[in-house]
Amino acid sequence: MTLLKLSNLSDLAAALQAQGYRVVAPIQDDAVVRLRSWRPGDTVRIAALPVNSPKDFLFPRCEAIGRYVLDRDGFTSEDLPARAEKTVLLGIRPCDVAALAGLDSVFAWGYPDKFYGERRAATTIVSLVCPSADDDCFCTSVGGAPDSTVGADAMLRLCNGGTAMTFASMTEKGKALDAVFGQFSSPGEAAVDPVAEVPVLFNSEVVTDWCSKSFESTVWRTLGLACLGCGACAFMCPACHCFDIQDESTDAQVDRLRNWDSCGFSQFTLHASGHNPRPDQPARWRQRMMHKFRYFKERFGRVACTGCGRCGRLCPTGMAISDVCREIARAEEVR
């Protein structure tokens, strides 16, 4: 058995970088741990759940998808290349890996998205068997597991009390990293650390079934009362993929930008005529739940929630999607 010492992570990141990879990892950033591109001097905090998700690196918050050079009475359009750097996502938790499968489905659906697709093809996922969960985690309620290998190219597992890791590559992309990981590994005995314990909070099949028959439920009204429509849940969600397209222009040039959006925002569905099919927060919250647990599942065969718990941790009014699902499932099981 070969082991990689935790203290070698920075050297490993540097070695991957030297091979031309952008290394995205959980990095200590002031008081929080954030996924970002590793730079020399950064501390990789592999065991901590980062505040943001890997979505940021495949489907960025804001991205130019078109460029137009303006002249006196018209424009010329430029087809922008995708910025697809060869990337290693290092130490990504199984919940976040699972969310990428959903994004893969959406961005390949009928009209393959060049920007997402090229970045995804250039990305190698080195996931981490999840060592710790908090009260907001619920991957096991939505078909995931803290030690799931699904979707990963290679997998790390902490051992010997979090001081070392094992590395196992599963795919061609993962095996391409064998040599670099091997370089920083040495033979040793491994006592693997325990996997995070994530209790099952609800049965997601029950939630999906309930959604299928409860469009007109009064539950939406009660839920909607608490929602401020701030969109924090959607922006931090690894699976949310709604976006807006806006033009940003100077007198000489226009960049057509794709930006994250949220079904919780009041302008999301607002027509130019003033009509809004989802006129209030209850209607928008219903869309959020319905899309994740019913529509997405009908279309792509999986729910658009992987139980990472970020929405619950971040919501200023404490509306965790897991609480809502638990309430729904409990009410259904009592019936």
Positions in the binding site for another protein (CB under 8 A): 65-66, 68, 70, 73-75, 77, 79-80, 106-107, 109-115, 117-118, 215-216, 241-247, 249, 254, 256, 258, 261, 263, 268-273, 275, 277-278, 283, 287, 290-291, 294-295, 298-299
Q: How far is the CB of 71 from another protein (least distance, A)?
A: 11
Q: Which amino acid is at 30?
A: D
Q: Which is nearer to another protein, 184 or 295 (CB)?
A: 295
Signed CA dihedral, 92, 94, 96, 99: sign only: positive
Other CB atoms within a 10 A radius of the CB of residue 242 amount to: 18
Q: How far is the CB of 172 from another protein (least distance, A)?
A: 20
Q: Which is nearer to another protein, 267 or 317 (CB)?
A: 267
Other CB atoms within a 10 A radius of the CB of residue 76 amount to: 9
d(CA 287, CA 280): 11
First-to-last CA distance in the chain? 53
Q: How far is the CB of 169 from another protein (least distance, A)?
A: 27
Q: How far is the CB of 240 from another protein (least distance, A)?
A: 9
d(CA 18, CA 239): 31
Q: CB within 8 A of 73, min separation 6: which ones?
A: none
Q: Which is nearer to another protein, 4 or 236 (CB)?
A: 236
Q: How far is CA 261 from CA 252, 264, 300, 316, in A?
A: 27, 9, 21, 18
Considering only CA atoms, which of 136, 238, 154, 145 is closest in space to residue 196?
A: 145
Q: Which is nearer to another protein, 193 or 255 (CB)?
A: 255
Q: How far is the CB of 76 from another protein (least distance, A)?
A: 9
Q: Which is nearer to another protein, 80 or 230 (CB)?
A: 80
Q: How far is the CB of 110 from another protein (least distance, A)?
A: 6
Other CB atoms within a 10 A radius of the CB of residue 282 amount to: 19
Considering only CA atoms, which of 189, 196, 203 is closest in space to residue 326?
A: 203
Q: Which is nearer to another protein, 48 or 80 (CB)?
A: 80
Q: How far is the CB of 249 from another protein (least distance, A)?
A: 4
Q: Which is nearer to another protein, 93 or 284 (CB)?
A: 284
Say if residues 58 and 120 touch (Cβ distance below 8 Å): yes
